[in-house]
Amino acid sequence: MSAITGCKERVNDSLAGKCCLVLGAGGFIGGHVSRELHRRGALVHGFGRRQSYPEALDGIRFTKAEFSDRATLARAVDGADYVFHLLASGTPESSNRDPVADLEAGVSGTLHMLAICRAAGVRKVIFVSSGGTVYGVPASVPIDECAQTNPICAYGVSRLAIEKYLHLYLRLHGLDYAVLRAANPFGPWQDPQRRQGVIPAIMHSVLHKRPAEIWGDGFVVRDFIYVADVAEAVALVATYSGEQRVFNVGSGVGRSVLNVVSDIVGVLGGEAARILYKPARDSDVPVNILNTALIRRELGWVARTDWLVGLELTASWLQRRYDRTFPIRQLV
């Protein structure tokens, strides 16, 4: 546990033996959260539509079902102490093509889930929101939790609406919650072929000697955070008992996509990457860097994984998972 002095009374690291339901456990962040909770001795139950990388959930119970299957969801929630909501309703880009579908899958589904959690007496719902989209174009960086929220993608609007409903359910029904606004997580089990994140996608292209595709001029700046650090924050916030409810989770460091490409090439030990520039996407803000002072103060959490180490861990996983013949050294 990374709690610094003064946070210990607010973060009671006692997940051992607690029933933790992880919605979206079969996905990228959900897999890491499930393992982190499992490592801390929690009784973890994963729930989701599919398992992208079944090895991520080794030894963890998993129910394969749609979020909209309320009977199955209610059975899964029954007996859970904590419910972790990591279900995404698509991507920022896809949400702009069909905002109604994003709203109905993401927000209506969450409202039904909250009613189930309330009836079941769940202690706390932990929602991993999107620090990369809820703020929209920031007035200044790093962005703190009180900044204006004007998303430029429907996905950001629906994440924000879920945050507001969580606040409402605490106020109306006493259902406790925490929101983690995660920046841009990266790491193992982030599918390089499903546009989940720029880092594995670029790595995959470079390893296959294909041009790295980037949207726009490559100068957009993001706050990349290694996914295991996010998972640690999620575990810590579950047993946090302070006053705050909404936390940024990021590295606090901004990196341009072009810098990322360059660092990836350095880690992979290859030549300079070829870059295929594609049109800028309307869902991309020019810059996003999160201020993480609040979570540091309240939870004692800081992003611990060094940037290059995080890239190496990701590259090593990609190599093992997708092609054992890649000519890179065994990194981990």
* Near a copy of itself by CB under 8 A: residue from 17, 50, 171, 327: 171
Distance in Å, CB of 299 to a copy of itself, minimum: 21
Preceding omega of 138 cis (within 30 degrees of 0)? no
* Near a copy of itself by CB under 8 A: residue from 5, 17, 58, 172: 172
Q: Which is nearer to a copy of itself, 17 or 279 (CB)?
A: 279
Distance in Å, CB of 318 to a copy of itself, minimum: 33
Binding segment for a copy of itself (CB under 8 A), chosen from 36-44, 53-61, 92-100, 303-311, is 92-100
Distance in Å, CB of 114 to a copy of itself, minimum: 9
* Near a copy of itself by CB under 8 A: residue from 34, 91, 96, 316: 96
Distance in Å, CB of 34 to a copy of itself, minimum: 28
Q: Which is nearer to a copy of itself, 21 or 154 (CB)?
A: 154
Q: Which is nearer to a copy of itself, 112 or 320 (CB)?
A: 112
Q: Quick check: 100 binds a copy of itself (CB under 8 A)?
A: yes
Cα–Cα nearest to 179, from 229, 136, 213, 145: 145
Q: Quick check: 160 binds a copy of itself (CB under 8 A)?
A: yes
Q: Quick check: 152 binds a copy of itself (CB under 8 A)?
A: yes
Residues 107-136, mask of contacts with a copy of itself (x by CB under 8 A): xx--xx-----------------------x
Q: Quick check: 154 binds a copy of itself (CB under 8 A)?
A: yes
Q: Residues binding a copy of itself: what is the number (CB under 8 A)?
A: 28
User: What is the end-to-end Cα distance of the chain in Å, rounded?
Assistant: 22
Distance in Å, CB of 52 to a copy of itself, minimum: 29
The residues pairing with 186 across neighbouring beta strands, listed in sequence order, are 226
Q: Which is nearer to a copy of itself, 245 or 255 (CB)?
A: 245
List contacts with a copy of itself (CB under 8 A): 96, 99-100, 103-104, 107-108, 111-112, 136, 146, 148-154, 157, 160-161, 164-165, 167-168, 171-172, 282
